[in-house]
Structure 1
Amino acid sequence: MTEESAAPGWLGWLGSLGSSRASRSSRASAALLAASCCCCALLLALAAARRARFLLRLRAVPGPRALPVLGNALQLTGTQEDFFQLLRRCADRFGAVFCLWVGTRPFVFLQSAEAVQPILNSSVHIDKSPDYRFVEAWVGKGLVTSTGERWRARRKLLTPSFHSRVLDQFLQPLHREARVLADKLAAHCGGAPFDIVPYAKLAALDVICGEQHAGERRGAPGSAGERREDTALGKHVAAQRNSNNAYVVAIDRITSIVQRRFITPWLKPDVLFNLSELGRAQRKCVSVIHGFTGRVFAARKEEKRREWEQEQLEAQQRPRGPQVADKPRGAAGGRRALLDLLLDMAHHGANLSDEDIREEVDTFTFAGHDTTAAGLSWCLYVLGKHPEVQERILDEWRSVRSTPGAECEATVGDLSRLEYLERCIKEVLRLYPVVPLIARDIRSPVHLGALGADLPAGCTVLVNAFLLHRDPRFFPEPERFDPDRFLDDSDARRHPFAYVPFSAGSRNCIGQKFAMLELKVLLLTVLERFRVQTAEPNRPLRLVAELVLSNVGGIKISLSKRSS
């Protein structure tokens, strides 16, 4: 056999070898594909089984009939006012617990104390609804939006800052901004009815961000003689005097954007929202807000650094004694803003980064101004229907105040003795809870005695405080305004979860004592100056549940001057 004749044999052998390898590779690929398909089928079967168990458990929860994939979309196509009325109709029809489906996502609404208690009283079910992420661009992972161990650690750290013993530090900015509010409202005295909400928002924002005017300060910054009486930022934004301030405009705009996103299904996905006009507007607002708070933070941190250095120098120069040991850390400067308190905590070892501090200051601004504004607006609306209650509030104020005279400034002691005013505020918040829907994400099954069944993990639960507060078992004639419902003996007999204006349990509102103090001061100042009358008191309200409870067209009142 010649070399030339042998070559085709070798080539044939190599060809058959290649063909064999290709065949084996093809069989391996087919086996791999089959295995992948089996795995996918198994995963799909497991997911389908899990979904079936989830749906089976939810069958115990009544509600309007939902369509596959769409859920209750057809019932939810109306306005926010329509949605609020739908919740009332569903509660009338289905009772204390019912479910609405938004696409494939279930929302379980609770409106009885027995149904609410296992959720709000739990140390496990503390996760807010995923929709709270809509405010994270503004406030980050602050106290409102954080969860788990991060939330527990932050709550423990911040709670002393809102203790009743330190509330007196907020009185000076409160009284100042209350007087500015009354001065602004004087322009409407004797005139046509007007919407009180914008005025209340600006006043609340000034209180939250407030700082004393330079002329009201005593002593040099950081000295023992300085009297700082601040709230959150320690920076006076003068919102009531200049509502066109860029920071004020950005706060108002981003609040509206967040509310719009909460109620608009197609704006909920981040991808669609970020591409929208509202997404672009939000980014501009966040840039303005963070730029402002960042500048305030940097300036105040530098001031605090000099204060700490001065403290350290003074401590080294004076002998140790009981008076030095008893001095609380970070006490220099006396009454301080929340920003100062957080900076001092971080300086003395608390686990707080600069970003953490900014988040908490922004959170306090977000959570504190819109809610207080709504509370004040609803209080004036209700009191405007009851002139005799206004007179009784003022009579009580005259009887308890420690300093006589017109428009004197109440002390914390004075305010604590205003029991009738406090009952009036509580009753207004029963009728018109500032936060009408309290949302929780259920991460593990929870038993609802009111339902007689378990809610599965994966549900979003909403406590409907508006309907909860109208349970005739605990509040007879629930639509009637009656402050005496909150006399001590009545409170003791009531179910502890029948009234939750500041939520309840471990995740209740950390600033509720401050909110009550703020409402008392603002209401007293307005009522001392004016008689309040509700515009069209018999006209039905058109309520909507946004971030706060609102009325379509605003909350309108009229004012008349009160004689000296």
Structure 2
Amino acid sequence: MFSVVLVLFVILLTVLYSSLCLYRYNTYLSTVPKPSCKLSWILGHTVALFNPRDILQVGVDAAIKYGGVIRVLIPPSVTIAITDNEVIQQFFKDSIVKAGDYAFFKPWLGTGLLTNNGQSWKSRRKLLSQCFGSLGLMKDFIKVFETSGRHFMNELESKIDDENLDIIPIMKKYTLNVLCETAMGVSLSSRGTQGDLYIRNIQNICKVMINRFKLPYERIHWIFYFTNDYRTQQRSIKMVNSFFDDIFEEKLRRVDDEMKIDGKRALLDVLIQFHKSSILTKENIRDEVNTFMFGGYDTTAIALSFALYALAYHPDIQEKIIEEQIEIFGSLNSGIETTYGHLQQMKYLELVILETLRLYPPIPYCGRKVIEETDIGKKFAMLEMKTTLSKIVSNFRISPSKQEFKPQLVPEITLASLNGLRISLEKR
């Protein structure tokens, strides 16, 4: 009896809250064009989320029909959706605060750079900019890209017989390994089952985040606490944090001259120095490392996957990349280790990456309330993508899938394809 009453009470509160959102929606934003929606008084435009295959096209059609600024209701949020490039540029010139949906990430990312605001965000950003602005640290990262890239080429070579290769899962595993080594200084493969569990639990957390964006009832925090997704999230966060805590304690026990292992430093090595100076707490460092892992895992993997997919249909562009590689290294597969200087010379490859990001933006949307944007990870991501694509194009001829294929694009936390991204590889 009690459970029935509780369910009815939850339903009543949800309806009342949705009605309040609708009132705000119609009262304060009445002059902004609104796409029509079914059952708008309860669900708003959430119905569009039920069929993820259509959502991008629905958004494009709405922008064409109603203009570049429209109002969208996804309870409990009332949102202005902007697709007009000039309006977006003007909007981001102002000082702005991150939208409420970023609170979904706080249980995992805490006060990391992605979820932080105000003066705390500014001071933390300044501190991290010192890390990512260090040429020495970037060169250490490139050593990781180089070593991991060589192992990745061997893995791709084993996939040559697959004429319908979905590159996304392979790329995600590769980028997560690279991120773990650059962020914490450990190889996931060296941690055995603990490393496998870490990967699985990060994936679990990301799936919960996607559900929170898509399911109206999970967007309301106190309702979310009663769901299976909440329990999955808490279990996974506990394991991921435990993995970090073990590595943190291991590194903390080392004396300063042992911080640099095999000639390479990780982000954690540098942040621990701030911890020893009482500038950052262990929790601060964990939040930033988790943010670094989350921010670079899906986005870089998706960007690299779409780059390979696009290159598969443009062999002429592949040849121009090859010409640049030969100009820099003297020949393909010369055996010369890639350095920071080499990557700076890859101007054409950088243009290819930038065009890929324009055509297939890894982050298809972002939310703000009307903090300055942070791009401290941009340099890291560009260096990783250059190193990886340089090796792949130099070792393999990339072609379209031998089977007819068209990606089914959907906006999740990152841009995704429901049916993967299919290509085929041929050894050069």
Query: Shorter-chain TM-score: which interval?
Result: 0.7 to 0.9
Q: Which has the higher helix share?
A: 2
Check 1:276–1:233 CA distance in 2 against 1; reply closer, same or farther (3 A cut): same
Q: Residue in 2 aligned with 1:460?
A: none
Partners of 2:261 and 2:115 lie apart in 1 by 32
Residue among 146, 155, 175 paired with 1:204: 175
Q: Where do residues 452-467 of structure 1 align in structure 2 (5 Å cutoff)? A: none
Measured at CA, do residues 238 and 76 of structure 1 come closer, stay the same or move farther in structure 2, by a change above 3 Å?
Answer: same
Tell me what 1:137 maps to.
Answer: 107
Q: Give how far 1:268 is off.
A: 1.9
Over 3 Å counting, the alpha-carbon distance change for 1:343 and 1:243 in structure 2 is: closer
Tell me the amino acid that sits aligned with residue 300 of structure 2: T
Structure-2 residue corresponding to 1:256 = 207
Amino acid at match of 1:307: D
Q: Secondary structure of 2:112's partner? A: coil
C-alpha contact (below 8 Å) 1:65/1:72 kept by paired residues: no
Partner of residue 125, structure 2? 155
Q: Letter of the aligned partner of 1:509 in structure 2?
A: D
Over aligned residues, Cα RMSD in angstroms? 2.9
Please report how far the alpha carbon of residue 56 of structure 1 lies from its aligned counterpart in structure 2 after TM superposition. 4.6
Q: Is 2:329 aligned against 1:401?
A: yes
Tell me if structure 2 keeps the 8 A contact 1:384–1:534.
yes
Query: Which residue pairs with 1:273 in the alignment?
Result: 224
Instruction: Please say if 1:528 is aligned against 2:375.
Output: no
Partner of 2:93: 121
Q: Distance in 1 between matches of 2:190 and 2:359?
A: 29
| Offset at residue 530 of structure 1 (A) | 1.1
Rounded to whole Å, the distance in 2 between the matches of 1:178 and 1:287 is: 31
Q: Deviations over 1:403-437 (max 9, x none)?
A: 98534322111111111111011001100001010
Task: After superposition, give the CA deviation of every residue in 1:297-329 in whole Å (9 maximum; x if it has no partner).
Answer: 1111111xx328x9xxxxxxxxxxxxxxxxxxx
Alignment partner, residue 431 of structure 1? 359
Find the residue that maps to 1:287 and give its secondary structure: helix
Give the structure 1 partner of residue 238 of structure 2. 287
Name 2:17's counterpart in structure 1. Answer: none
Pairing 1:89–2:18 present: no
1:347 to 276, 288, 301: 276
SS at match of 2:380: helix
Do residues 422 (structure 1) and 384 (structure 2) align?
Answer: no
- Mapped to 1, the partners of 2:121 and 2:105 lie a distance apart of 16
Provide the TM-score with structure 1 as the length reference: 0.67
- Counterpart amino acid of residue 339 in structure 1: L
Which runs of 5 or more residues in structure 1 are unaligned?
A: 1-47, 211-230, 311-329, 443-504
Instruction: Render the CA deviation track for 1:526-559: whole Å, top value 9, x for unaligned.
Output: 1122111122797543110111101111111111
* Cα 1:253–1:77 shift into 2, 3 Å: closer
The structural deviation recorded for 1:65 is 3.7
Report if aligned partners of 1:202, 1:239 keep a CA contact under 8 Å in 2. Answer: no
Assess if the C-alpha contact under 8 Å between 2:76 and 2:216 holds in 1.
no
1:177 corresponds, among 144, 148, 153, to 148
Aligned length: 407
Letter in 2 for 1:149: Q
Deviation at 1:391, TM superposition (A): 1.5
Which is further off, 423-432 or 155-164? 155-164
Residue equivalent to 1:28: none
1:163-195 per-position Cα deviation (integer Å, ceiling 9, x unaligned): 262321211110111112111111211332121
Q: Is the contact between residue 306 and residue 360 of structure 2 (CA under 8 Å) also seen in structure 1?
A: yes
Shift of the 275–409 alpha-carbon distance from structure 1 to 2, 3 Å rule, reads: same
Alpha carbons of 1:164 and 1:376: their partners in 2 closer, same or farther (altered >3 Å)?
farther
Within 1, Cα distance between the matches of 2:193 and 2:330?
A: 34
Q: Post-superposition shift, 1:256? A: 1.9
Name the CA distance, whole Å, in 2 between partners of 1:63 and 1:561. Answer: 52
TM-score by length of 2: 0.87
Pick one of 163, 168, 181 that aligns with 1:192. 163
Quote the sequence identity (%).
31
Structure 2 segments unaligned to the other structure (5+ residues):
1-19
Q: Residue 206 of structure 1 contacts residue 240 of structure 1 at CA under 8 Å; is this kept in 2?
A: no
Alignment match, 2:81: 109
Q: 1:332 to 1:190 in 2, by over 3 A?
A: closer
Residues 475-494 of structure 1: pairs in structure 2 closer than 5 A: none
**Counterpart secondary structure, 2:248:** helix
Over 3 Å counting, the alpha-carbon distance change for 1:68 and 1:551 in structure 2 is closer
After TM superposition, give the deviation of residue 54 of structure 1 in Å.
7.5
Q: Check conservation: 1:69, 1:104, Cα contact below 8 A.
A: no
